[in-house]
Amino acid sequence: MNINLKIWRQSSDKKDGKLHDYRLENVDPNISFLEMLDILNNKLVKEKKDPVAFDHDCREGICGSCGFMINGRPHGPQKATTVCQLHMRSFKDEDDILLEPFRAKSFGVIKDLSVDRKSFDRIISSSGFVSVDTGEAGEANYIPIEKNNADEAFLSAACIGCGACVAACKNSSAMLFTSAKVSHLALLPQGEKEQADRVNKMVATMDAEGFGACTNTGACSAECPKEISQTNIARLNREFVKAQLGSFIKKK
């Protein structure tokens, strides 16, 4: 198959970027999308031109490194799939394919399709953990956990932190990302004791990082490569209200 690529090229966060056209011919439909970019980059290097920068690592859809917009959608057209797991058979011969970085105030462009997602780390380090030192833990099976809760917690914890939710959201909100961590820990007895403090701090950090508010359009969940459910956002809201009321009552 032949394809026509339009790729956002930007040499750094300080420079302006613009779209460049590239054409690739005889692309095997069974290669992955990133392997297609590898071929383009090899070609550019042969021509002594700067290859397209993009983040990627495991190429198994789990590390969360990859991700950019393909024809306006984070990670491209296939549901529940990261860019690295997308294959060229999802496209047609002579398709025009537009590649842009994730766009959000809190994700600055580093170069081309690579963006800075350190704000996600800061949200987690504000309180996305259980305060237990190494060696303090008791026997694991002393705290039985209902299977349904453990399974739900797992589904929330499966977030890969790629940022697609933010890129999909018209408000650039990080609610799905933040709520997935809040939910994961709220569903387990280990996380319960610090829950109020956790949700307060994580929401405050999320706001301070410049992410927008959630208006429940659900685009985040629809575009999430790991299908993190919107229920997490409802759970965060409930925990947040509980925490706010709790501190209100304490003050009184």
Figure out which of the listed residues 108, 158, 242, 244 binds other proteins, where binding follows CB under 8 A: 158
245 binds other proteins (CB under 8 A): no
32 binds other proteins (CB under 8 A): yes
Figure out which of the listed residues 3, 40, 160, 166 binds other proteins, where binding follows CB under 8 A: 160
Kindly tell me which of 32 and 171 has the beta carbon lying closer to other proteins.
32
24 binds other proteins (CB under 8 A): no
Figure out which of the listed residues 46, 170, 250, 252 binds other proteins, where binding follows CB under 8 A: 46
x-marked contacts with other proteins along 196-235 as a string, rule CB under 8 A: ----------------------------------------
Q: How far is the CB of 154 from other proteins (least distance, A)?
A: 4
Q: How far is the CB of 200 from other proteins (least distance, A)?
A: 14
26 binds other proteins (CB under 8 A): no
Kindly tell me which of 157 and 217 has the beta carbon lying closer to other proteins.
157
Q: Which two tokens stand for residue 188?
A: 């387990």
135 binds other proteins (CB under 8 A): yes
Kindly tell me which of 136 and 251 has the beta carbon lying closer to other proteins.
136
Q: Which two tokens stand for residue 23?
A: 């054409």
101 binds other proteins (CB under 8 A): no
Q: Report the 3 state secondary structure along the chain.
A: CCEEEEEEECCCCCCCCEEEEEEECCCCCCCEHHHHHHHHHHHHHHCCCCCCCCCCCCCCCCCCCCCCEECCEECCCCCCCCHHHCEHHHCCCCEEEEEECCCECCECEEECCEECCHHHHHHHHHHCCCCCCCCCCCCHHHCCCCHHHHHHHHHHHCCCCCCHHHHHCCCCECHHHHHHHHHHHHCCHHHHCCHHHHHHHHHHHHHHCCCECCCCCCHHHHHCCCCCCCHHHHHHHHHHHHHHHHHHHHHC
1 binds other proteins (CB under 8 A): no
